[in-house]
Amino acid sequence: MARQEAGRRVPADLGKVEAKIGQVFQERWQAALQRHMDATVAAGCAWSEVVARIPDPAEAWRDMSAYWQDFAQRTLLFWDTLRQRGNNWIDHEKAGKPPLLHFPWKPIADGRTFDRPVNYALVQIEPPEGTVTDPDQRPFVIIDPRAGHGPGIGGFKQDSEVGVALAAGHPVYFVIFYPVPVPGQTLADVSRAEAEFLRIVRERHPKARKPVLVGNCQGGWAAMLVGAVDPDLPGPIVINGAPMSYWAGNDGENPMRYAGGMLGGVWPALLASDLGAGLFDGAYLVDNFEYLNPANTFFDKYYTLFSKIDTEPQRFLEFERWWGGFFLLGRDEIKWIVENLFVGNKLASGQVEWSEGRALDLRRIRSPIVLFASLGDNITPPQQAFNWVADLYPTTEDLKANGQVIVGLIHKSVGHLGIFVSGQVARREHAQIVDLIGYIEHLPPGLYGMQIEEREESGKILYDVVLTERRVEDLQVLQKFGRRDEIPFQVVKAASDVSAMAYETFLHPWIAAAATPAGASVRRALHPQRLQRWAVSDINPFLSSLGRWADLARASRAPRDESGLSAATERWCAAVTSASWDLFRDLRDASVEHMFYQTYAVPALLGAGAGQAEAEGAGLPAREAAPIRNALSRIEEGGRTKALVRMALLLQKAGPRPRRLSSMKQVRELVGKDVGLLDMPADLAREVIREQSYIVNYEPEQALATLPKLLRTPEDRDFTLRIVNRLSDAIEIDPSQRGMVAAFRNLLGDGSAIEAVGQGRKAVMAHRQQGSYRGAARKRISR
């Protein structure tokens, strides 16, 4: 009977889905055409305003004459800059593609010498002159992405992740990699090597707390793999712009997620590796990035160089040196990445086979995790950076029961590369993460949102940082359609498995036998990404005199009038050209998206994607989880430290809105040493906070009533009350929290225990009536 009802329901659902697909496609075409029209109209209005200011034809003629002289000079300088780019590329290739770090560094460990060798190495960043680091401070270890380019993006300039960590006095280490992988290396070998690097760093800083592990983009999930493989090694893990949930995204915003389906799954990567004689060329990955924004790829970045030819070349050449450094991956490596992550999306589900039949479970990670993403990132949108949390922990209670702390930070506009290379982002977001990392480590389990507000006082920029407790269920707002648009990707995975099996069976033996290392080298040299660089360099005999002509243009430079009609006409042409490329991109992406859902949505609806069943209601209630039951069984056990932690959590729980402190550093200095957490090993301190947070969350009244059993002596109670009094005098508290403080004083002082519990119960009940707790901390620092 149920099967018959399902059969009747499928045609109706199919019609609704097809209608919705068509509606979204039509809306996207209309929106694309409207954006193009708006851009061209705006460009025309700007040009018309300049035309209206031209008083007579003679001035227009003089402007045109000066413009064309400037145009000729700009053209020479533009092509000479591209020639320098080509020369830089050749020099970088000859030098072995060293890391493009702004800072000096020294090698510490070479993964090529390990028992299972890999093309990775650990280096230590040497602080620049005037910067002093403390070896007893917590070290930072940064993993850059190996996604086509070489290492260095995390320390590309002074204002960078490396720079802000050094400025704060932390020792900084960097995980680099070499252009060619060691034959036979796997990603499991890479994870083992990175874990060994962490052990080496900990041995070099025995008095410091566990290293902070920072992963950029692809390096983010690499850092998570290390944390899951050996949870005892890393301290807090910070992942920036890291794709963790590859199927996630929104229609019209994230076209890269459809690539696996439209290319047929994993087999194109296998074919490219076979044609490369077992090596996958990173230039293909760079092509994918440039595919996303053809306006910038084919026009905008070159026009920016042309229009700012007197100031832009140095920045252009510095970035292009990194962007043009193409590194290789082994066949097994790219197969694992595409099969498990891009197409399979197995990381968050615990289905990733790490090595030797062992599945990787991210729930094993015990370190606090900081997630940084941006709404302006179309390569790793916030949905891909955050949705894995909801996949791994369906409810907030599951997250807390696992003892995990996750802090999310979302930038409003910066693009993918800006997350790593923007100096403003480094001074604002990365600096605050570095400054708050010790505080984040001592947060109770839960999901937190981090917001940074910028203001100016007396000529100084001040940053207000607010940490607010959120719920995992809040993540649903990041993606449209309740994530039902991810169901067709299950069909993509099934189709990919079939096509990959067919390729491996019928084509791989022939292509792998025919491809030679020499032929693969020629094909890589002729790849368009490389060809456009070496073809415009000094090895091209037709450009032998370009440098001399450019020098002459610099010597006789006659800049144009930027407010003139000719320059305005050029800007109008540039704006229309860029808008036309954007129109092409929008229509192309809409068509690809439409084709994707037309191809895969129907099989998914008919049952091919039914394997992804939601596990709602599965498992034991969170209260029955072993860590929570163990914590509640020890509700009457502890001493000063546990009592003070419990009281702080009760005070936070009583607050109806985010609490704002004048300075987190000031509060830590005020009571930090007295509490005792700062003198404990980090793991033990986090365990104390987890245990007491479970007690406060599940038995708040008992947590308050049993405080005297944790503080059995008058000395302990007097000591604790002095700290409570100091803290309550130093921070602003609301009436509910004042009631909780009064309960502490009565319970531990000379007052009535019954009266104290009553006051505490009122504070707890007030909190329950106001809704779920949103705990927060605010700090202000000047930069």
Cα angle 312, 315, 320 (rounded to 5 degrees) comes to: 115
Of 270, 292, 318, the last residue of a domain is 318
More confident site: 135 or 737 = 135
Contact 394, 472 (CB under 8 A): yes
How far is the C-alpha of 428 from the C-alpha of 373, rounded, in Å? 14
How far is the C-alpha of 728 from the C-alpha of 732, rounded, in Å? 7
Structurally, how many domains does the chain consist of? Answer: 4
How far is the C-alpha of 275 from the C-alpha of 288, rounded, in Å? 18
pTM > 0.85: yes
Largest CA distance in the chain: 97
How far is the C-alpha of 617 from the C-alpha of 371, rounded, in Å? 27
Contact 274, 335 (CB under 8 A): no
Residue from 656, 767, 655, 751 nearest 742 by CA: 751
Segment 8-21 mean pLDDT? 69
CB contact set of 182 (below 8 Å; sequence gap of 6+): 112, 117, 118, 119
Is residue 112 situated within a structural domain? Answer: yes
Residue 182, pLDDT above cutoff 50: yes
Is residue 274 situated within a structural domain? Answer: no
pLDDT for 607: 62
**Angle 640-654/714-730 helices, nearest 10 degrees?**
40
Which residue range forms the structural domain that includes residue 744?
Answer: 623-782
SS3 per-residue string spanning 80-144: HHHHHHHHHHHHHHHCCCCCCCCCCEEEEEEHHHCCCCCCEEEEEECCCCCCCCCCCCCCEEEEC
How far is the C-alpha of 491 from the C-alpha of 499, rounded, in Å? 12
pLDDT one-digit tens code per residue, 40-92: 999 999 999 888 887 678 888 899 999 999 999 999 999 999 999 999 999 99
pLDDT one-digit tens code per residue, 368-416: 999 999 999 989 999 999 999 999 998 999 999 999 999 999 999 999 9
From residue 735, give the alpha-carbon distance in Å to each of 661, 722, 766.
Answer: 16, 20, 10
Residue 296 shares a structural domain with residue 423: no
- Written as six digits, the tokens of 507 are 């084509």
H/E element holding 374? Answer: strand 369-374
Is residue 769 situated within a structural domain? Answer: yes
Segment 93-115 mean pLDDT? 96
Residue 210 shares a structural domain with residue 183: yes
How far is the C-alpha of 348 from the C-alpha of 117, rounded, in Å? 28
> Is beta strand 353-355 parallel, antiparallel or unpaired with respect to 358-359?
antiparallel
pLDDT for 610: 43
**What own/partner pairs with CB < 8 Å and gap ≥ 24 does 40-45 have?**
40/575, 40/576, 40/579, 42/575, 43/571, 43/572, 43/575, 43/576, 43/579, 44/572
Other C-beta atoms closer than 10 Å to the C-beta of 678 total 15
pLDDT for 731: 65
Residue 133 shares a structural domain with residue 28: no
Q: Where are the alpha helices (DSSP H) in 159-217?
A: 161-167, 187-204
Is residue 563 situated within a structural domain? Answer: no
Residue 612, pLDDT above cutoff 60: no
Contact 635, 695 (CB under 8 A): yes
Is residue 556 situated within a structural domain? Answer: no
Residue 387 shares a structural domain with residue 414: yes
SS3 per-residue string spanning 532-563: HHHCCCCCCHHHCCHHHHHHHHHHCCCCCCCC
Segment 578-582 mean pLDDT? 97
**CATH number of the domain within which 391 lies:** 3.40.50.1820
Of 59-63, 171-175, 672-676, the range with the lowest mean pLDDT is 672-676
pLDDT one-digit tens code per residue, 418-449: 999 999 999 999 999 999 898 898 889 999 99
Contact 635, 700 (CB under 8 A): no
Of 458, 490, 506, the last residue of a domain is 506
Residue 756, pLDDT above cutoff 60: no
Residue 226 shares a structural domain with residue 349: yes
Residue 641 shares a structural domain with residue 600: no
pLDDT for 615: 41
Is residue 31 situated within a structural domain? Answer: yes
Of 318, 340, 365, the last residue of a domain is 318
